[in-house]
A and B are shown apart, each in its own frame.
Chain A
């Protein structure tokens, strides 16, 4: 049962345009949502997060939007740069049995073309 879903395995955009990465989830108990970026042969790096009590968080070129009624979040990158080309993972945290759990989507490969 996949609790965090990234339905688009890949996305290609032109440099300077907006990149929108989407993520859907099923568990209403998630308390934080996170986005990670991963380059080939490297571990993922934390990008931006949002608490479940917020609907928007912005950090420079990156903005994450949370729509709780639709159980959907998205990451916007504006403007997109070739260096943004990487795999992006959506993740969510929740507490179960006193322990924090971390659930990841399968990732979306973003390619930004010069």
Chain B
């Protein structure tokens, strides 16, 4: 079945380390997104990409980096510059054009700084 796979589900990072969260989709969706979820808050957009080799900063891009070398993959790196990285991270994808707007989320990665 088609969907989005995020890995790992749980990730622990020591302060000062960079970590990379994986997001893979087999839906043939053009657009992919990374969100951060904190308790009691709505989703906040970190980065998004509408096509391969192109990506845009979202609302809270500082301390994060992404790449989009393949249509199906959109990894997120949480760098040591991110001051408060402990959060729940969601990857999503959507069809960019046409009347079928299908928007699918992954199951998330819980990142904890120890």
Residues of A bordering B, CB below 8 Å: 32, 34, 36, 38, 40-47, 49, 87, 89, 99-102, 104, 106-107, 109
Contact = CB atoms under 8 A, between A and B. Distances in A.
A100 B90 contact: no
26 contacts: A32-B40, A34-B42, A36-B42, A36-B43, A38-B103, A41-B96, A42-B48, A43-B33, A43-B45, A43-B92, A44-B103, A45-B42, A45-B45, A46-B43, A87-B103, A99-B10, A99-B110, A100-B37, A100-B39, A101-B108, A102-B37, A102-B43, A104-B105, A107-B101, A107-B103, A109-B101
A72 B94 CA distance: 26
Given A41-B96, A102-B37, A87 B48 contact: no
**Dominant secondary structure at the B interface:** strand
Contacts of B92: 43
A43 B42 contact: no
Contacts of B88: 99-100, 102
Contacts of B105: 102, 104
Contacts of A104: 105
Interface of B: 10, 31, 33, 35, 37, 39-45, 48, 50, 58, 88, 90, 92, 96, 101, 103, 105, 108, 110
A102 B90 contact: yes
Contacts of A47: 42
A102 B108 contact: yes
A12 to B, nearest CB: 14
Nearest to B103: A107
A40 B102 CA distance: 11
B42 A49 contact: yes
Given A49-B42, A87-B101, 18 more contacts: A34-B42, A36-B42, A36-B43, A41-B96, A43-B33, A43-B35, A43-B43, A43-B45, A43-B58, A46-B41, A46-B42, A47-B42, A87-B103, A99-B88, A100-B37, A100-B88, A104-B105, A107-B101
Contacts of A45: 42, 45
Contacts of A106: 103
Kindly list the 7 A-B residue pairs having the minimum CB-CB distance in the complex, ordered from nearest: A46-B42, A43-B45, A43-B33, A99-B110, A43-B48, A34-B42, A102-B37
